[in-house]
Chains A and B, each alone.
Chain A
Amino acid sequence: GDSVTQMEGPVTLSEEAFLTINCTYTATGYPSLFWYVQYPGEGLQLLLKATKADDKGSNKGFEATYRKETTSFHLEKGSVQVSDSAVYFCALVTSGSARQLTFGSGTQLTVLP
Chain B
Amino acid sequence: EAGVAQSPRYKIIEKRQSVAFWCNPISGHATLYWYQQILGQGPKLLIQFQNNGVVDDSQLPKDRFSAERLKGVDSTLKIQPAKLEDSAVYLCASSITGASSYEQYFGPGTRLTVT
Which B residues form the contact surface with A (CB < 8 A)? 3-4, 31, 33, 40-45, 48, 55-56, 91, 93, 95, 100-109
| Interface size of A in residues (CB-CB distance below 8 Å) | 22
Task: Mark A20-43 against chain B: 1 for CB-CB distance below 8 A, else 0.
Answer: 000000000000100010000111
Interchain CB contact under 8 A, B42 and A104: yes
Q: Are A46 and B42 in contact (CB under 8 A)?
A: no
Contact of A98 among B56, B103, B109 (CB under 8 A): B56
A45 interfacial by beta-carbon distance below 8 Å:
yes
Chain A contact residues, CB within 8 Å of chain B = 4, 32, 36, 41-46, 49, 51, 89, 91, 93, 98-101, 103-106
Q: Are B91 and A101 in contact (CB under 8 A)?
A: no
Question: Are A44 and B106 also in contact (CB < 8 A) when A89-B42, A103-B42, A105-B40 are?
Answer: yes
Chain B residues in 8 Å Cβ range of A49? 101, 103
B31 CB contacts on chain A under 8 angstroms: 99
> In the complex, which residues of chain B have a beta carbon less than 8 angstroms from the beta carbon of A89?
42-43
Give the complex CA separation of A99 and B45 in angstroms.
11
Q: List 16 A-B contacts (CB under 8 A).
A: A36-B106, A43-B3, A43-B91, A46-B105, A49-B101, A49-B103, A51-B100, A89-B43, A98-B48, A99-B102, A101-B104, A103-B42, A103-B43, A104-B42, A106-B40, A106-B42
Name the CB-closest residue of B to A46.
B103
Neighbouring B residues of A45 by C-beta, 8 Å? 106
Q: Do the beta carbons of A93 and B40 come within 8 Å of each other?
A: no
- Which of B41, B100, B106 is within 8 Å of A106, CB to CB? B41
Which of A4, A43, A101 has a CB less than 8 Å from the CB of B45? A101
